[in-house]
Chain A
Amino acid sequence: MKKRYWRCFVCNDIHYGVAPPELCPTCKVLNAYVEISAEEARRFLEPSAAAPAPPDFRTAIESFAAGQVFQVNPDREKVDLLLKGIAENESNHGLKFCPCRLRTKDWAEDQRLVCPCNFTIHETYKGVADGECWCGLFVRRK
């Protein structure tokens, strides 16, 4: 399934996926998306000075995990080490790659290594009572 770019004709939200959202999550208009080129999407996605800075990554993943069946690992020392590695990987290699795996240099494969990854399908988590993602940043909520 090939992902494509879509733009909301009302609020200019950009969506990247095999199909557009039925309901625009920003302006709540139905069936508002039109397909656009990658180049047009890139222009809309250029960083805007008006856009607020994202939260630090720790805050972002805590917010991501809130209310989920998993949580950020309560082991603060482990999380600190992992966040340091993730930050260094982003600085040195361009994306928040998992410090406990190695990128292959194949873009399609390496997207799966960006934190948070889809760890819920991994053998270290799926069906495991005290499961965790491969690196241990996320653990099943007790």
Chain B
Amino acid sequence: MAKLIMFHGRECPHCKKMMPLVEKLEQEIPVRFDKREIWHDEANADLMRGYREALAPKCGNQLRVPTFLNMETKDAVCGEVEYEKLKDWALKQV
């Protein structure tokens, strides 16, 4: 199974909106997201910073949340997106 991460922030409204969609997606297709909160856990923040080169070009040259990352291919999608868009992206990863 592909190693997918969802970087999120506890007080980020976009992340809060995406979280139930991610959980729904995990029920619908065989994917699992490793959910990493980045403002209250410095290890998670450092992990995200470690992928900056791959993430920033897809996120307005910044590190933004929510961000969905395939740890192996470095493919990523950034921001609050429609369910179908996230699903299409996730299906490409499996």
Contact = CB atoms under 8 A, between A and B. Distances in A.
18 contacts: A81-B16, A84-B11, A85-B39, A88-B11, A88-B40, A89-B39, A92-B40, A99-B10, A99-B11, A100-B64, A101-B64, A102-B9, A102-B45, A104-B52, A105-B49, A122-B60, A134-B60, A135-B13
Contacts of B76: none
Contacts of A134: 60, 64
Interface of A: 78, 81-82, 84-86, 88-89, 92-93, 97, 99-105, 113, 122-123, 134-136
B14 interface: yes
Interface string B1-37: 0000001011111111000000000000000000000
Closest 9 CB pairs of A and B: A85-B11, A102-B63, A99-B11, A100-B12, A78-B13, A99-B9, A101-B64, A99-B12, A102-B38
Interface in B60-94: 60, 62-65
Contacts of A102: 7, 9, 38-39, 45, 48-49, 63-65
A53 to B, nearest CB: 24
Given A92-B40, A105-B49, A123-B60, A100 B14 contact: yes
Nearest to A99: B11
Nearest to A102: B63
B39 A104 contact: no
**Which size bracket describes the interface of B in this complex?**
20 to 34
A72 to B, nearest CB: 14
B84 to A, nearest CB: 20
Given A100-B12, A102-B65, A135-B14, 5 more contacts: A99-B11, A100-B14, A100-B65, A101-B63, A113-B62
A56 to B, nearest CB: 17
Contacts of A81: 11, 13, 16
Contacts of B38: 102
Nearest to A93: B39
Contact of B9 (A78, A100, A123): A100
A122 B38 CA distance: 22
Q: Pick the most buried of A100, A101, A136: most chain B CB atoms within 10 A of its CB.
A: A100
Contacts of B12: 85, 99-100, 135
